[in-house]
Chains A and B, each alone.
Chain A
Amino acid sequence: MSYEPKIVGFLCNWCSYTGADLAGTSRIQYPANVRIIRVMCSARIDPTFVMDALAQGADGVLICGCHPGDCHYSEGNYKAMRRFPLLKNLLKSYGIEDDRVRQAWVSASEGQRFADIVGDMTERVRALGPSRVHSTLLADQRER
């Protein structure tokens, strides 16, 4: 039985969320697997959110911000840019597959790009199968 990946997306208000809205107004179709959470800037994204999403059952996490240099708040996306490689390093130590967590830059005019990223990520996460993080943590409570 195939599963439908559940992907949590953190999008910054000014660029990527607007880009996702543009995909909507342009009626560009993409898979329904991403559930978007809006933040004002990708700098707000605490790595803990990503880990929490995985622990709560997300099969994948997508982080989107403005292209470097274009951040509405001047430098917020650079903070996101610096945190991400270290987060990936940590996730690798935790055994989380690389394709499950992704960071992408999407501008307000890139509706198609957003749709393409979602489509690509959904397929990659689908190929990995469901994340076992949530079920493992539940099982840990029952069986030692």
Chain B
Amino acid sequence: MDELKIGVYVCNCGTNIAHIVNAEGVKEAAAALPDVVIARSYRYMCSNPGQEMIVKDIQELGLNRVVVAACSPRMHERTFRNACKTGGLNPYLFEMANIREQCSWVHADKLAATEKAKALTHGAVNRVRHHEPLDSLTAEMCPSTLVLGGGIAGMTAALELAMAGHPVYLVEKADHLGGNLARVDSTAPYLDSARDLLTERITHLRENPDISIMLNSQLKSLSGFIGNFSATIETNGGPNPPERKVIPVGNVVVATGYKEFDASRITHYGYGKLPDVITSFEFEQMMRAGRIQTKSGKPPQYVAIIHCVGSRNQEFHGYCSRVCCMTALKYANEIKSALPDSYVSDVYIDMHAFGKGCEDFYKKSSEIKTLFLMYGKNESPVIRKAGPNDDCGMLIEVDEKLSGERIEIPADLVILMVGMEARPDAGEVARLVNISADKDGWFIESHPKLDPVATTTDGIYIAGTCAAPKDIPDSVAQARAAAGRILAKIAKGKIEIDGVFAEINEDRCSGCRMCNELCPYSAIEFYADKKRSHVIPAACKACGACVAACPSGAIKGRHFTDQQIYAQIEGVLA
């Protein structure tokens, strides 16, 4: 190793650090440490003059390691790494000691806080000795994209990507495109035709030469990493044996959609037993056929629509399925329009009318004389067959909250607003593309607020209802967002892989294979011919699980090596 020349900078942060920690004292203590050639104390290290101080010292004093004792590295590690870079020093030859958030701001005892700050700085100085210069790697970005799912989200993403001129493979399990939207007649709140919506999408899709539509197809395996995936698609078409195709893609959009809740699970709704209790999707079919009628073929005089079937329920799913309230109002409007003399009861818990135009739609639904009846969560209505003296087919008993009374609602036709749930194959999809699903089976996004379409696996995006219940506008927005993210990556042409990842020393790896299963990103492959494991740098997220677990110490966690950590332990205890 070249002679070490460490520069230590103790930030006062105005008075944030200095009013409790004796910054001068910390500086003096650091200056006395071996290999520290300069130690400074300054008001605001993150300011331009502060950073320039580092740059100047690197250039004039030949510093090859830098330590800044200041705020949390989560605030300014990047700032100071950039300063090092500007000075000509590899940004990873830098370490911070957190003497603000984890010292001056939380300890009132000045002496104790200063001793701690000295110890933390000593730890950082010890650690930085063992830092190595790290460079990012680059890899090619394949411009093709795999879109899983041919529903509205999948089709939108595919079109967006193809219209920018990049190849797309649209893989759909069923024998037709459209997903759940193909089972719907009109959409709330503007009552647009779903069929027109779909026809427009599908036509554009079919016309676009860059989109390969693969129906009756499923993803069988996905290997590789962002920019360099290899997807195996199996197509099961009719009498021919299944065909497998391996395609190279750069990114994947998962838009596999949802399935509706099975209403027969709520026995007191009588679905599957009472012939005129139907689900929302079955009602859509009725609307498509243009005839709203009971099983006996007569138009219903009383229609009841029940919200939250399988949703907002402790027994089934606790979440709200988002679209059902407005869809229920859509039905109320359609029924009143087709059968003006009918009575429509809308039996709900809360009216979730959050979207654009929805409150107005709600108001309109009330104006057309829909009867709104409220029931309590976990106190759902009970449907039973009516008696021979009743003038309706069924009676619904409800503890109605608005009136405070227990009432019976007549119904010839009951529409159950079945909620959304994760598809049964969602777990399998998640496993194939290496993303996670939450306890309800919805795919997990990288960050619920700031990064809703990316996942923790680079190159895999999620869009539409597979991520959580949502309506068409949101599904389309997410699909476009995912496409946009991918287009930005394709535009760059290459991807930069962070220089911090785990590395397996082939000369030390015994092929024990303790590590392979540990990696949540499937980043550790096993070379059977060489009997060695190998970490794919681009796929590695540097969590260090394999580094700690390797029983022969053959895996090195770059920038978090054992040597660095032992040195830091020694320093903080000095």
A residues whose Cβ falls under 8 Å from a Cβ of B: 4, 6, 8, 13, 17-18, 20-21, 23-25, 27-32, 35-41, 43-46, 48-49, 52-53, 56-58, 72-76, 79, 83, 115
Contacts and interface: CB of A to CB of B under 8 A. Distances in A.
Q: Which 9 pairs between the two chains have the least Cβ-Cβ distance? A: A44-B544, A24-B101, A43-B545, A74-B520, A73-B543, A35-B572, A32-B112, A41-B543, A24-B105
B32 interface: no
B569 A49 contact: yes
25 contacts: A8-B572, A20-B102, A21-B98, A21-B102, A24-B106, A30-B107, A32-B107, A35-B573, A36-B102, A41-B544, A43-B543, A44-B557, A46-B547, A49-B565, A52-B566, A56-B573, A58-B573, A72-B456, A72-B543, A73-B456, A73-B520, A75-B520, A76-B543, A76-B544, A79-B548
Given A6-B573, A25-B101, A35 B456 contact: no
In which size bucket is the chain B interface? Answer: 35 or more
Interface of B (DSSP majority class): helix
B74 interface: yes
Given A35-B119, A74-B456, A74-B520, A53 B573 contact: yes
Contact of A36 (B98, B105, B112, B545): B98
Contacts of A41: 543-545
B74 A79 contact: no
Contacts of A8: 569, 572-573
B125 to A, nearest CB: 14
A125 to B, nearest CB: 14
Contacts of B569: 8, 37, 49, 52-53, 56, 58
Interface of B: 72-74, 98, 100-103, 105-109, 112-113, 115-116, 119-120, 123, 436, 456, 518, 520, 541-545, 547-549, 557, 560, 562, 565-566, 568-570, 572-573
A40 B101 contact: no
B545 A35 contact: no
A18 B105 CA distance: 14
Contact of A44 (B72, B108, B119, B548): B548
Nearest to A18: B74
B74 A21 contact: yes
A109 to B, nearest CB: 13
Given A25-B101, A32-B109, A45-B548, 11 more contacts: A4-B112, A21-B72, A21-B102, A24-B105, A30-B107, A35-B119, A35-B573, A36-B98, A39-B565, A40-B560, A83-B548
